[in-house]
A and B are shown apart, each in its own frame.
Chain A
Amino acid sequence: MLLLFIRCFHAELYKLKSTPLRWLILFGGILVPIMITISFLTSPYHNTTLNVNPWGYFYKLTSDIFSVFILLPIIVLTNSFVVNLEHQSDTWKRLYSMPLKRAYIYFSKLAVILLLIFTSIIVYFLSALVLGYFMSLIFPEFEFQYYFPNMGELIPRFTHLMIGILSVVGLQYCLSLHFKNFLIPIMVGIMGFIIGLFIYISGSKYGLHFPYSQAALVNDLDIIHSTLNKDTGTFFNKVEYISIAFFVLFVALGYWKERQRDVT
């Protein structure tokens, strides 16, 4: 069973060869670190505090922007692209007439989407690291070269982020499968992104239950909306539990629909 899943996963990954998706993941990951680096370099003394590890501030600044403004569009586009490849090529009939259960195709596609999103986070992390050291070559006063990012802080941060976005991944996957016209899930994603941003900024309690706000809220325990996202005393905070619940719900619903679907 696991071998079958791995085979399907490899095939799904291979299918994305020579597609623009890899560029989306790459540029999506490095965009914010590049922008913040330019901002640091254009006003270096404004962003310098001597004898303090600069990585914390640099990663906090870039990850806040990345998780709200970049990661959500990446999720929407990745889901639409991966699924629309089948709609556009009319290849569902081939996939589902192979001697494979639909579950293997469904979950291997989802796994590929999650891997690509995770890759964009890794690209972001690594590009921020490289650019931090690059800045220290030009302005040693930044002191990036004297410290190393606090991984004990960053790894949980990115883990929370990955869990916080699960609900949106599940929802967008479900929508992309349902609508043959790829513009519909993209439009829903854009609308969700805008509404989610407003809900997050307004501090509304609905943000907790709105998938498109959860990516912003998940690492916001100590900032403006700390009253919303309660620390549960476990590794996961409240938003993450809700995000996981939504993810399970959307994925189960999507699978149920996909299993029933007539490929006409």
Chain B
Amino acid sequence: MSNIISINELSYSYQKGKQVLNNLSLQVPRGAIYGFLGANGAGKTTTIRSILGLIKPSKGNIQLFNQAIKISNPEILKNVGSLIESPAIYSHLTGYQNLKLVCKYLNIPYAKITEVLHLVNLRTQKDKKTKAYSTGMKQRLGLAMALLNDPELLILDEPTSGLDPTGIIEIRNIIKNLQNEGKTIFLSSHLLNEIELIATSVGIIKDGKMVFQGSIQELELLKKKNLQVNLKVDHPQKVIDLLKTQFIANLNDTDTIKVDVQDENDIPIIIETLVRNKINIYEVRLEKNNLENLFIDITNSDQ
């Protein structure tokens, strides 16, 4: 499957010394819903702004539809629709007028407005000034603006931000329908469950670096693998000797033993070995793997 977005070793600094993106590479397959996951401030929006040519990276290159993106060559963006953070709308104009404005810039027939308004369920509110719109309505209008040029690639930065559960479900359904129509969707979020529900591919960014990239199945597999078990026992050194043939076990500062296991099936094997050798077990605690810890960081940052 060809990639619709391809980023290679992208770096960007806002101020001298403050690196926002650090050698970030990612590939978005054509037809995918690519979930771009990261905590607030991880560099998601900066990556999106780089893709759209809004900022110039200090290093690296970005290819959209196999063409390098440059400020001097914005024509590449004709097949891209975007919604970056809060929707960019003029509050003194109505929803319809905001859409008409985009049509004027891009020479799109006005008939398309009715179509996108129908898609985002804003037909009855189209003549209302957008300053009277709720957050959800503004997000839907932003989405409608992004869809006006019938883009092949849709870039959505936190599209469910500030929405109530109904609004989130509505946006999620719209995104799923758009994928069914053959569009590629690049969706950034800081909510793991949001991405898990909708994405087919995932990229996880932390401190401007890509820490995971793969399909949603690979992500699920990783979550179940590479676990760590913490044991509190009466003879720690003996336990380490007993387990070292099968596992990597180390004594840590708090007199507990850390044992690296491949998956949850290894836990009963460890316990059985210890019981057979008459070791008293005081505590068995499963530590989440690094990726899982990262997810927790991401999820917690929202709270």
Contacts and interface: CB of A to CB of B under 8 A. Distances in A.
B55 A94 contact: no
Contacts of A15: 90, 93, 101
Contacts of A92: 88
Interface in A76-103: 85, 89-102
Interface string A207-238: 00000000000000000000000000000000
Nearest to A108: B105
Given A96-B54, A262-B54, A101 B74 contact: yes
A130 to B, nearest CB: 30
A14 B54 contact: no
Interface stretch (A3-11, A114-122, A143-151): A3-11
A19 interface: yes
Contacts of A18: 92-93
A24 to B, nearest CB: 14
Nearest to B97: A17
B82 to A, nearest CB: 5
Given A93-B84, A262-B54, A264-B14, A98 B77 contact: yes
A99 B71 contact: no
Nearest to B51: A97
A90 B74 CA distance: 20
Interface string B1-26: 00000000000001000000000000
A260 to B, nearest CB: 8
Contact of A14 (B74, B76, B100): B100
A95 B86 CA distance: 14
A263 B75 CA distance: 18
A10 B101 CA distance: 9
B89 A97 contact: no
A97 B105 contact: no
B88 A94 contact: yes
A46 to B, nearest CB: 46
B235 to A, nearest CB: 58
A9 to B, nearest CB: 10
Given A96-B53, A97-B77, A264-B55, A91 B88 contact: yes
A99 to B, nearest CB: 4
Contacts of A264: 14, 49, 54-55
Contacts of B296: none
Nearest to B87: A94
B264 to A, nearest CB: 45
A263 B107 contact: no
Interface in A56-70: none
A176 to B, nearest CB: 17
Given A97-B82, A98-B105, A89 B77 contact: no
B256 to A, nearest CB: 46
Given A96-B53, A96-B54, A91 B104 contact: no
A107 B49 CA distance: 23
B98 to A, nearest CB: 9
Contacts of A263: 49, 54-55
B166 interface: no
A89 B90 contact: yes
B153 to A, nearest CB: 12
A99 B76 contact: yes
Contacts of A100: 74, 105-106
B117 interface: no
B300 to A, nearest CB: 26
B56 interface: yes
A89 B141 CA distance: 14
Contact of A93 (B49, B78, B80, B101): B49
A10 B104 contact: yes
Contacts of A205: none
B202 interface: no
Interface string B102-146: 101111000000000000000000000000000000000000010
Interface in B51-78: 52-56, 71-72, 74-78
Contacts of B280: none
A81 to B, nearest CB: 11
Contacts of B78: 99
Interface in A102-129: 102
A259 interface: yes
A92 B85 CA distance: 13
Contacts of A97: 52-54, 77, 80, 82, 84
A10 B107 CA distance: 11
Given A14-B101, A97-B54, A101-B74, A90 B86 contact: yes
Contact of B56 (A94, A95, A262): A262
A94 B74 CA distance: 13
12 contacts: A14-B104, A17-B92, A18-B93, A89-B91, A93-B52, A94-B145, A96-B53, A96-B74, A99-B78, A99-B80, A101-B72, A264-B54
User: Which 5 residue pairs are nearest across A and B when measured between Cβ atoms?
Assistant: A94-B88, A11-B104, A99-B78, A263-B54, A262-B55
Given A93-B54, A93-B88, 10 more contacts: A11-B104, A14-B97, A90-B86, A93-B52, A94-B145, A97-B54, A97-B80, A99-B80, A100-B74, A100-B105
